[in-house]
Amino acid sequence: MKKSPLPTRRRLRVVAALLAGCGLAVTSSTQAQSQDAQRLRMRSLASTCAQCHGTDGHAVEGEALIRLAGLPADYTLSQLLAFRTGERKATIMHQITKGYSQDQLESLAKYFATQK
Amino acid sequence: MNDIQFERRQLLQGLMAAGVLGISGCSSLGGGASASKAQVVVVGGGFGGATVSKYIRMLSDYRVDVMMIEPNRTFVSCPMSNLVLGGQRQMADITNDYATLSGKHGVRVVHDRVASVDAAKRSVTLASGGSVAYDKLVIAPGIDMMWDSVQGLREANAAGQILHAWKAGPDTVALRRQLEAMRDGGTYAIVIPEAPYRCPPGPYERASVVAAYFKREKPKSKVLILDANPDVTSKGPLFKKAWAELYKGTLEYRSQHKAVAVDAKTNTVKFDVQDDVKADVLNVLPTMRAGDLAVQTGLANANGRWCHVNFLNFESTAQKHIHVIGDAIQVAAGMPKSGHMANSHAKVTAAAIVAELHGWEINPHPMLTNVCMSFVDDAHVIHVASVHEYVPTQKTFATIGGSGGVSDVRSDLEGRYAQGWARNIWADVLK
């Protein structure tokens, strides 16, 4: 990312001002924006699992790779951690889970649990 | 603002007409139903282009308009296409359509080519005429061949004699026919260029599954791998173990064979140092670079060959508001040119574009995954996997320490996972 002379918060204000300058209202409150921005990041993180386990955990039915959507968060997290420690044998998942922090694995387990 | 001069009906065929026109440089997502929408144009409908189209729609909660321009009517997957050459799969098994991308996700799929990009005006001109304005342009052009790297290859390829079949499609079928027509006792030679090229393990997988086909149906035939690189560039020990155990006497690997010319009359390939090799079926992969459109648009600023990008959002370092993803970019360390990786690039890019159009800070810590599965025979697979994170101090992606790796052994379990991977990633890209 190119270095901006402005700190992030000020840059965001400038962006908002520029949008307003286009004659278009920025309607969301800062708080709602922040929640939406967080949601975007969570969906983005979850998308790193989708190549094998389907978009938002909706894996294609009848294939060997499991569907994550709707699995209880505790179960998913326990399995992810078991892969990471080597307690549960795997072909790939022990290698993949080592790329994610405990916080990330927890948030992923929760995210997929909420997918219908 | 209405830069779309061609037949609207043709453009909008079967698709929602609402919010068609992008308004350059001045878009908001905060307004009501009547507010103008930002317009993103995506060029290319492969693993990168189709994914970024779908994910911009999804991640913006269907508020950002996406037009995807792709000449082909169907999506033919390069991953798994080697199995068509080995006779283990048919073309229908690796072919999908774009119907769900438009029908379910509202991506406006236009089957055309982009003739040129006007970065100053933020518009692209279509080969069929007319132009389309964009707020953000994503170019996912894949690779094109540097034909001059191997003298005589352009002509031999155009004549249909010496194929690369490194873009799945009609050439995949044509190369399969050559293999089927080859006499038992003949030689199939695959010639590999120096890295980087699309799909690092791909040539070795191809050689393996063709060897499996020969062993099964033409046992006197041979597979010869002629590699410009000093050694097998991906999963070397696993491939070599499979070759030693499965294809002794059938498959031979030779490193440091850099092709410089072909002679179509005698089906011979010439090398810079090593002796000429004549084969019954010659499969020559030339040196590769970013797809033509990226080069024409001045985006290939890494030796005129690949495109440097800002890894936070995959924006070109040559042009603002133009993002480049997939095989065409100058990669970070440990980042292969693969369909899975292009799909990963696409998701980081989609999230960054959606954030930027909302005026939100772009995720400062994007992540990428990659898994490349290779068949070594009809059923057994080996993989290489990696997880990558953006490192702000280095402004690039790096593989995360301790993560990733390769298979312990080839296995039919991973063969089933490879099939599942293919079905799931195709759905993630298109459905």
Alpha-carbon distance B20 to B30, whole Å? 17
Taking the C-alpha atoms of residue B238 and residue B252, their distance in angstroms, rounded to an integer, is 15
Rounded-to-integer distance, Cα A109 and Cα A96, Å: 15
Q: Which of B242, B262, B286 is the last residue of a domain?
A: B286
Question: Does B106 share its domain with B193?
Answer: no
In a domain, A47, yes or no: yes
Same domain, B272 and B238: yes
Give the Cα separation of B315 and B310 in Å (integer).
Answer: 5
The verdict on residue A46 lying in a domain is yes
Q: Is residue B377 part of a domain?
A: no
Q: Is the pLDDT of residue B208 over 60?
A: yes
- Is B61 within a domain? yes
- Cross-chain residue pair A25–B347, CB shorter than 8 Å: no
Q: What is the DSSP letter of B150?
A: S
Amino acid identity for residue A49 in this structure = C
Task: Assess whether B161 and B275 both reside in one domain.
Answer: yes
ipTM score of complex: 0.90
A3 lies within 8 A of chain B by CB: no
Q: Write down which residue in B240, B263, B286 finishes a domain.
A: B286
Whether residue B71 is found in the same domain as residue B33: yes
Query: Do B175 and B281 share a domain, yes or no?
Result: yes
CA nearest to A55 within chain B: B428
* CATH number for B139: 3.50.50.60
Q: Does B403 touch chain A (CB under 8 A)?
A: yes
Q: How many other C-beta atoms are found inside a 10 Å radius of the C-beta of residue B317?
A: 15
In chain A, where do the E strands start and end?
none
B310/A1 Cβ within 8 A: yes
The number of helices, as runs of H, and strands, as runs of E, in chain B is 11, 25
What pLDDT sits at residue B37? 79
- Measure CB to CB from residue B369 to each of A11, A33, A51 and give the nearest one: A51
Find the domain containing A102 and state its range: 8-114
Query: Considering CB atoms only, which of A37, A54, A60 is closest to B360?
Result: A37
Measured between CB atoms, does A8 come within 8 Å of chain B? yes
Question: How many beta-carbon contacts under 8 Å exist across A and B?
Answer: 158
Check A26 against B30: CB less than 8 A apart: yes
Structurally, chain A folds into a number of domains equal to: 1
> Same domain for B271 and B298?
no
Specify the pLDDT at position B34. Answer: 25
Of all residues in chain A, the one with the smallest CA distance to B390 is A1
Among partner residues B351, B359, B420, which is closest to A16 by beta-carbon distance?
B359
User: pLDDT confidence of B124, banded at 50, 70, 90?
Assistant: very high
Of B310, B367, B371, the CB nearest to A52: B371
Q: Closest residue of B to A29, CA-based?
A: B30
B55 interfaces chain A, CB cutoff of 8 Å: yes
> Taking 70 as the threshold, does the pLDDT of residue B21 lie above it?
no
CA B65/CA B318 separation, integer angstroms: 25
| CA dist., res. B339 & res. B201, Å (int) | 12
Q: Strand B123-126 relative to strand B114-118: parallel, antiparallel, unpaired?
A: antiparallel
**Record: contact B411-A19, CB cut-off 8 A:** no
**Dihedral Cα B419, B422, B423, B426, nearest 10 deg:** -170
Residue of A39, A47, A66, A107 to mutate for B, most B C-beta atoms under 10 A: A47
Between CA A37 and CA A26 the distance in angstroms is 15
Between CA B254 and CA B231 the distance in angstroms is 9
Tokens of A1: 């990312």
Is B301 inside a domain boundary? yes
Total count of domains within chain B: 2
Q: Are residues B253 and B299 in the same domain?
A: no
* Distance of residue A74 Cα from the nearest chain B Cα, in angstroms: 23
Q: Residue B109 corresponds to which tokens in the numbers above?
A: 């799929």
- Which domain CATH number covers A105? 1.10.760.10
In a domain, residue B392? The reply is no
**Cβ B355–A40 below 8 Å, yes or no?**
yes
Task: Please give the pLDDT value at position B23.
Answer: 32
Largest CA distance in chain A: 58
In the stretch 302-341 of chain B, residues with CB closer than 8 A to chain A read 310, 312-313, 340
Q: Which residues of chain A have pLDDT under 50?
A: 1-28
Q: How confident is the model at residue B213 (pLDDT cuts 50, 70, 90)?
A: very high
Helix (H) or strand (E) holding B7: none
Point out the domain boundary residue: B251, B286, B321: B286
Spatial neighbors of A104 by CB under 8 A, at least 6 apart, are A45
Can you tell me the mean pLDDT for B150-169? 98
Task: Report yes or no: A48 at the B interface, CB cutoff 8 Å.
Answer: yes
- Is A95 within the bounds of a domain? yes
Under an 8 A CB cutoff, do A15 and B359 touch? Answer: yes
Tell which residue, B389, B77, B327, B370, has the closest CA to residue B235. Answer: B370
In a domain, B396, yes or no: no
Instruction: Decide if B153 touches A, using CB distance below 8 A.
Output: no
**Chain A 76-105, residues with CB within 8 Å of chain B CB atoms:** 91-92, 95-100
Burial of B416 (0-12, 13-18, 19+ CB in 10 A): middle
Set of chain B residues whose Cβ sits within 8 Å of the Cβ of A1? 310, 312-313, 362, 395
Q: Are residues B119 and B217 in the same domain?
A: no
In a domain, B395, yes or no: no
CA distance B20 to B41: 12
Query: Phi, psi at residue A59, to the nearest 5°?
Result: -70, 150
**What are B342-379's pLDDT values in tens digits?**
999 999 999 999 999 999 999 999 999 999 999 999 99
Give the pLDDT band of residue B267 (cuts 50, 70, 90): very high
Average pLDDT estimate for B323-345: 98
- Interface contact A65-B417, CB threshold 8 A: yes
Is residue A3 included in any domain, yes or no? Answer: no
Kindly report the average pLDDT of chain B as a whole number.
Answer: 92
Cα–Cα distance, B340 to A73 (Å, whole number): 26
Which one of B316, B360, B370 makes the best mutation probe of the A interface by having the most chain A beta carbons within 10 Å?
Answer: B360
Structural domain including B271 reads 147-286
Extract the tokens encoding B326. Answer: 């997939």
Return the closest-CA partner of residue B202 out of B341, B301, B97.
B341
Question: What's the token pair of residue A55?
Answer: 């978009």
Residue whose C-alpha is closest to residue B78's, from B190, B164, B169, B146: B169
* Closest approach of A97 to chain B, Cα-based (Å): 7
pLDDT of residue A3: 40
pTM: 0.89
Nearest by Cα to B11 from B20, B22, B19: B20
Q: Is residue B174 part of a domain?
A: yes
Closest partner residue to A44 among B27, B363, B371, by Cβ? B363
Confirm whether B409 is domain-assigned: no
Cα–Cα distance, B382 to B409 (Å, whole number): 7
Q: Which two tokens stand for residue B178?
A: 């050559």
Query: Do the domain assignments include residue A90?
Result: yes
Structure tokens at B53: 């189209």
Q: Cβ of B152: how many Cβ atoms within 10 Å?
A: 19
Give per-residue burial for B42-79: e unless 16+ CB within 10 Å, then b.
bbbbbbbbbbbbbbbbbbbeebbbbbbbbeeeebbbbb
Number of neighbours of residue B170 by Cβ within 10 angstroms: 13
Mean pLDDT score, B79-85: 98
Q: Is the pLDDT of residue B178 over 90?
A: yes
Cα nearest neighbour of A91 on chain B: B407
Contact B358 A96 (CB under 8 A): no
Residue A1 lies in a domain: no
Identify which of B395, B314, B398, B313 has the alpha carbon closest to the alpha carbon of residue B360.
Answer: B313
Q: Alpha-carbon distance A59 to B426, whole Å?
A: 11
Shortest CA gap A99–chain B (Å): 5
DSSP string, B75-107: EE-STTHHHHHTTSS-GGGGEEESHHHHHTT--
